[in-house]
């Protein structure tokens, strides 16, 4: 089932949550809606589900216009950040809920329901919890039950709202790999909302980056990471440093500082260069085009050395990440002078972008 979002708008009072969004989601794809809080990603997901109604615009499943359909008729599976399991029901009853509330004519027999629920519990590897209550399960287990419950009604579309947001880091990492594998098995068209770029990059087939109710970029994880469409996407996808730059017509880029007042050449244009923290080379001696810096703070995080250095020209802070071994070899300590050189950067032209 493909999803088509056409010119959707949604306001809450004066706040524009979703601003004229157009998006097509292909059948069987696992798509991430990625953005900071308030970017409209959850609202867009809820509009797809039918939990919110757009002020204008159309939602289609395949070619069918379902904008006016109630959530209970859309056949979507929805997974909430805080699980939303029914506390007074056992795990079995929770998963069976969607089947037991069907109208009598369509409702499977008790034996069929039991068979299906047990199969789903096996799929989420929690068949041994059938008779427990949600309060007796851990967060990760609850979210898997919530997923099994959503899958029980054989949804045409699976929608997940920050599904791992309430879990701790280790469980979150495990669950997202598990979700990826599960999706490879069942291939239901899925959309999940996240503010965690790593999660989106790891799990999704496709990433839709949102900001202020609009779509900033839409592409595969690789496209979005390697070729960010604009400074917002660049900054959102990872730790990034900003440098002033002058770009020649030939494409040659020279890094400068904000206080650089040497005359601008005729064929040069001012711009901002975005350099990721791990795409900076640290040198112990001056080289052409290298910027002089002073080492300020050194933190070892597992195998990585994280450096905070001060640009000697304008005193701006630059974040650098490099492998611990490589840093050790440089034999630098806090307070030392060094030179840095961006290995790879993306320059957006125009001052003050």
Q: Which run of H or E residues covers position 59? A: strand 56-61
- Nearer to other proteins by C-beta: 50 or 213? 50
| Cβ neighbours, 10 Å, residue 291 | 22
What is the SS3 assignment for 209? Answer: strand
Q: Which of residues 77 and 213 has its CB atom nearest to other proteins in the complex? A: 77
Closest approach of other proteins to the CB of residue 30, in Å: 19
Q: Taking the complex as a whole, how short is the minimal distance between the CB of residue 253 and other proteins, in angstroms?
A: 49
Contact 116, 99 (CB under 8 A): yes
- 337: tokens are 């002078």
Q: Which is nearer to other proteins, 79 or 203 (CB)?
A: 79
Q: Give, in degrees to the nearest 5, the angle at Cα 29 between 25 and 31.
A: 70
SS3 118: helix
Nearer to other proteins, 188 or 215 (CB): 188
Least Å from the CB of residue 103 to other proteins: 9
**Considering only CA atoms, which of 280, 294, 292, 306 is closest in space to residue 339?**
292
> DSSP of 243-288, one letter per residue?
EEEEEETTS-EEEE-TT--SPPPTTEEEEEEEEEGGGEEEESS--T
Pair of tokens at residue 31: 């798509």
As measured in angstroms, the least distance from the Cβ of 100 to other proteins is 8
- Measured in degrees and rounded to the nearest 5, phi and psi for residue 240 equal -135, 150
Instruction: Report the C-alpha gap between 350 and 353 in whole angstroms.
Output: 6
Our CB check for other proteins shows the closer of 71 and 171 to be 71
At 345, list the tokens. Answer: 């950067």
**Closest CB 179 distance from other proteins, rounded Å:** 18
Phi, psi of 268 (to 5 degrees): -105, 155
Nearer to other proteins by Cβ, of 71 and 337: the residue is 71
We find the least distance from the C-beta atom of residue 88 to other proteins, in angstroms, to be 4
Q: Residue numbers of the site for other proteins (CB under 8 A)?
A: 49-51, 70-73, 75-78, 80, 82, 84-88, 97-98, 101-102, 133, 135, 146, 149-150, 152-153
23 vs 49, beta carbon nearer other proteins: 49
Q: Give the Cα separation of 83 and 142 in Å (integer).
A: 6
Write down the least CB distance from residue 101 to other proteins, Å.
4
Minimum CB distance to other proteins, residue 154 (Å): 11
Q: Are 307 and 327 in contact (CB under 8 A)?
A: yes
Q: Which is nearer to other proteins, 78 or 339 (CB)?
A: 78
CB 280 within 8 A of CB 343: yes
Count CB neighbours of 306 within 10 A.
18
Question: How far apart are CB 66 and other proteins at their closest, in Å?
Answer: 14
Please, which residue, 106 or 301, has the CB nearer to other proteins? 106
């Amino acid at each position: 089932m493909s999803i088509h979002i056409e010119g959707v708008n949604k306001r809450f009072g004066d706040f524009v949550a979703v601003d004229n969004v157009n998006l097509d989601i292909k059948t069987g794809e696992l798509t991430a809606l990625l953005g900071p809080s308030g970017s409209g990603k959850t609202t867009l997901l809820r509009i797809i589900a039918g939990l919110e109604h757009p002020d204008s615009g159309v939602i289609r499943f395949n070619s069918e216009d379902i904008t006016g359909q109630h959530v209970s008729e859309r056949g979507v599976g929805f997974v909430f950040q805080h699980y939303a399991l029914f506390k007074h029901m056992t795990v079995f009853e929770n998963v069976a809920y969607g089947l037991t509330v069907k109208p009598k004519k369509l409702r499977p027999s008790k034996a069929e329901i039991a068979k299906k629920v047990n199969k789903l519990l096996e799929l989420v590897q929690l068949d041994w919890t059938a008779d427990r209550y949600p309060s007796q399960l851990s967060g990760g287990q609850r979210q898997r039950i919530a997923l099994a419950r959503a899958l029980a009604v054989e949804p045409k579309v699976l929608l997940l709202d920050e599904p791992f947001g309430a879990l701790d880091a280790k469980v979150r990492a495990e669950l997202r790999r598990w979700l990826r594998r599960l999706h490879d098995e069942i291939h239901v068209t899925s959309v999940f909302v996240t503010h965690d770029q790593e999660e989106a990059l790891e799990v999704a087939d496709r990433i839709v980056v949102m900001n202020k109710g609009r779509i900033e970029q839409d592409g595969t994880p690789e496209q979005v990471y390697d070729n960010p469409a604009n400074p917002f996407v660049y900054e959102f996808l990872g730790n990034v440093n900003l440098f002033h730059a002058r770009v020649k017509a030939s494409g040659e880029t020279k890094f400068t500082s904000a206080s650089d007042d040497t005359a601008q050449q005729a064929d040069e244009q001012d711009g901002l260069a975005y350099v990721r923290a791990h795409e900076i080379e640290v040198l112990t001696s001056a080289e052409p085009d290298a910027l002089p810096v002073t080492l300020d703070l050194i933190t070892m995080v597992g195998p990585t050395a994280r450096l905070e250095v001060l640009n000697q020209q304008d005193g701006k802070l630059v974040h650098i990440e490099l492998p611990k071994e490589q840093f050790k070899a440089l034999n630098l300590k806090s307070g030392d002078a060094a030179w840095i050189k961006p290995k790879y950067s993306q320059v957006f032209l125009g001052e003050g972008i």
